[in-house]
Amino acid sequence: MATEELPVTSTSGQEDVEPIVGLKNCKLVSQGAEARVWETTFCGQPCIVKQRFSKKYRHPALDKKLTATRLKQEARSVLRARKAGVPTPVLYFVEVESASIYMERITGRSIRHLLGDGLLDAAGTARVMAEVGRLLALMHDGGLIHGDLTTSNMLVRESDGAVVMIDFGLSYNSKLPEDKGVDLYVMERALTSAHSQLEGLFDQILESYKKHSKQWSATFNRFAEGNTFP
């Protein structure tokens, strides 16, 4: 039988959200499933603060451990990506107590918006897809798996047109072809679900990936195997 029949009204509206203690003039930009994103300035620079919040459904001990681990993992992944030559927001500061990461605010729009609003012509799309493929190759060859490759997590910077990768919240270190293959699979699924009207986007990415990755062959083999899964 139904254990819960009456709809329950929201107990977590945005009105009870408090800005991070001690941070002045910050504006809530978005509230996701596991973090809030704020806009503010840091030492005079435009800044984004990503603050993870606790999940009440988890055991407090597990919650604390997961939040701390993911915070550290995200910060390390951003650094690893930058080391591999992948543009990301610059990391300004990590505050463990409030589970917050402070980073550079990129001025630009996501590839999802650019494609969705038809702001890129064929040549522009080809350039951006090739750049995405190149960055994924650099990242994977550098032993980093992004974990959430969607067009929402890639920005085109206004100042120089560079593609900037964001949100390393699910990233981890791995050199396994299997993990890289799954990363590409997630990318493909994201493209088909968000941009189904545009064809050939993923092929453009793969072509460029192949050109720039030294280990493309093993990765593509695993990726092809994944695609034949029922």
Partner 1 sequence: MLSLLWGVPLVGVNHCVGHIEMGRAVTGAVDPVVLYVSGGNTQVIAYSHQRYRIFGETIDMAVGNCLDRFARLLGLSNDPSPGYNIEQLAKQETVFAMLVEITERAMAHTGKNDVLVVGGVGCNERLQGMMRTMAEERGGTLYATDDRYCIDNGAMIAWPGLLAFKLGLTTPLKETTCTQRFRTDDVLVAWRDD
**Site residues (CB under 8 A) for partner 1?**
1-12, 32-34, 55-59, 62, 66, 229-230
Q: How far is the CB of 66 from partner 1 (least distance, A)?
A: 8
- Active-site residue, selected from the candidate residues 117, 121, 141, 148: 148
Length of the chain: 230
What residue type is assigned to position 12 of the chain?
S
CB 223 within 8 A of CB 136: no
Cα separation, 50 vs 32, in Å, equals 10
DSSP 8-state code for residue 166: -
Minimal distance, residue 193 CB to partner 1, in Å: 9
Up-side HSE of residue 223: CA atoms within 13 Å toward CB?
19
- 148 carries an active-site annotation: yes
C-beta closer to partner 1: residue 116 or 142: 116
From CA 190, how far away is CA 17, in angstroms rounded? Answer: 31
Of the candidates 166, 147, 164, 150, which has an alpha carbon nearest to the alpha carbon of residue 201? 150
Distance CA 47, CA 206 (A): 33
Least CB distance from residue 113 to partner 1, whole Å?
17
Q: Are 108 and 154 spatial neighbours (Cβ–Cβ below 8 Å)?
A: no
**Minimum CB–partner distance for residue 34 and partner 1 (Å):** 8
Active site positions, annotated: 148
